[in-house]
Structures are given as C-alpha cells and as structure tokens.
Amino acid sequence: MHELSLCQAIAGVVKPHAQGRRIDVVRVRVGALRQVVPESLEFCWSLIRDHENLAGAELKLELIPAEVRCRACQQCSQIKSRWSVCCPHCTSADVEVIRGNEFLVTSLDVT
C-alpha cells in the first residue's frame, strides 16, 4: 500500500509550512494515472496525521481525470481507463498526457 508512504510525504510537506499552527485542511490534487486509491489515501491519512501531530487535519482530494492529446489526429480526449492511454478517436498510442499525472499539495487551512 503505497498510500501510506504518500501520506508520510504529505505530512513532511505540510508541517514546515504550518509553522507551528494547527492545520485544519490539507488539499491535494491527485491525477487518475497516479494509481492512488482515494479511500486508501484517506484511511492512511487518518493514521499518519495522529502519528505526525496533525490531529484533526482533514484531507480533501481533488481528483483529476486523465487527458491526452493525440499526435496522430490532434484530438484532446479524456481517458476513462487507467490501463489504456490510447486515443479514443483514432486508437493511436502516440499520445501526450496532458493531465492525470498530478500529485500535489495545493493548499492548507491553518489556524
């Protein structure tokens, strides 16, 4: 379960920015191609936040769908499957991933 190590990394990023203040909300952008199970990430966060003195910090996820630009037909398309990133218009595998690889802490609410 790599979600546990991802939550440890999130805690490592947010704690220095809190500068000793209480963290209420951590917002994280997660792309569909990152192979992250949102429910597992939220569960692991509940474990890590208590261990890292971040009790009460809520994890809010923004799930980003995968999108590609096809080099063959020039179409931009959202990809429904994590396992295939072929163009849904022409089935070419010659695509550029535009969105869906994100894993980013975007903001904190602190008090």
Q: Which two tokens stand for residue 57?
A: 């910090």
DSSP 19-32: TTSPEEEEEEEEEG
Please enumerate, by residue number, every residue annotated as part of a binding site for Ni(2+). Answer: 2
Distance CA 85, CA 109 (A): 35
Please enumerate, by residue number, every residue annotated as part of a binding site. Answer: 2, 70, 73, 87, 90
Please enumerate, by residue number, every residue annotated as part of a binding site for Zn(2+). Answer: 70, 73, 87, 90
Other beta carbons within 10 Å of 67: 19
Left (φ > 0), alpha (ψ -120 to 50) or beta: where does 56 sit? left
